[in-house]
Structure 1
Amino acid sequence: MGAQQWTGPAGNFPLTDIARQLRKDVINMVWAASSGHPGGSLSCTDILTYLFYQEMKLRPQEPAWPDRDRFVLSKGHAAPILYASLARRGYFDPAELSTLRQLDSRLQGHPHYGALPGIEMSTGSLGQGGSTAVGMALAGKLDKKNYRIFNLWGDGELEEGLVWESVMAAAHYKLDNLTGFVDWNGLQIDGPITQVMNPEPIDAKFRAFGWHVELADGHDFESLAKAVAIAKATKGQPTLILCKTVKGKGVSFMENQAGWHGSAPNDAQRLQALADLADPGTPGDPAAQKEVNR
Structure 2
Amino acid sequence: MKKFTDLELQIKSVEYRLALLKYIKIAKAGHTGGSLSCTDILNVLYNDVLDVTPESFGDKNRNRYIQSKGHSVEALYVVLADKGFYPESDLETLCKGGSKYVGHPTRKIPGIEFNTGALGHGLPISAGIALAAKKDEADYKVFTLLGDGELAEGSNWEAAQMAAHYKLDNLVAILDHNALQITGTNREVNSPYPIDEKFRAFGWHVVEVDGNNITELRKTFQAVPEVKGKPTFVIANTVKGKGVSFMENEKKWHHGVPSDEQYELAMKELNGELERLSAIKVGE
TM-score range, shorter chain: over 0.9
**2:66 aligned to 62, 72, 85, which one?**
72
In the alignment, which residue of structure 2 is the partner of 1:190?
A: 183
User: Is 2:252 the counterpart of 1:254?
Assistant: no
CA contact (8 A) 2:53 2:83 kept: no
Stretches of structure 1 lacking an aligned partner (at least 5 in a row): 284-294
User: Is 2:65 the counterpart of 1:102?
Assistant: no
In the alignment, which residue of structure 2 is the partner of 1:238?
A: 231
Q: 1:102 to 1:13 in 2, by over 3 A?
A: farther
Q: CA deviation at 1:250?
A: 0.1
In the alignment, which residue of structure 1 is the partner of 2:16?
A: 22
Output the CA distance in 2 between the equivalents of 1:200 and 1:19.
29
Q: 1:99 to 1:272 in 2, by over 3 A?
A: same
User: Is 2:209 the counterpart of 1:216?
Assistant: yes
Amino acid at match of 2:99: S
The size of the alignment, in residue pairs, is 275
Matches within 5 A, 1:97-246: 97-113=91-107, 115-246=108-239
In the alignment, which residue of structure 2 is the partner of 1:267?
A: 260
Output the CA distance in 1 between the equivalents of 2:174 and 2:7.
25
CA contact (8 A) 1:218 1:244 kept: yes
CA contact (8 A) 1:17 1:281 kept: no
In the alignment, which residue of structure 2 is the partner of 1:292?
A: none
In the alignment, which residue of structure 1 is the partner of 2:47?
A: 53
CA contact (8 A) 2:225 2:231 kept: no
CA contact (8 A) 2:182 2:254 kept: yes
Output the CA distance in 2 between the equivalents of 1:14 and 1:61.
23
State the TM-score, normalized to the length of structure 2.
0.93
Stretches of structure 2 lacking an aligned partner (at least 5 in a row): 279-284
Q: CA deviation at 1:224?
A: 1.1
RMSD of aligned residue pairs (Cα, Å): 1.9
**Whose helix proportion is higher, 1 or 2?**
2
In the alignment, which residue of structure 2 is the partner of 1:36?
A: 30
Output the CA distance in 2 between the equivalents of 1:47 and 1:170.
22
Runs of 4+ displaced beyond 4 Å: 280-283
| Percent of residue pairs bearing the same amino acid type | 43
Q: Deviations over 1:122-173 (max 9, x none)?
A: 1110000111101110111111111110001000000111111111111111
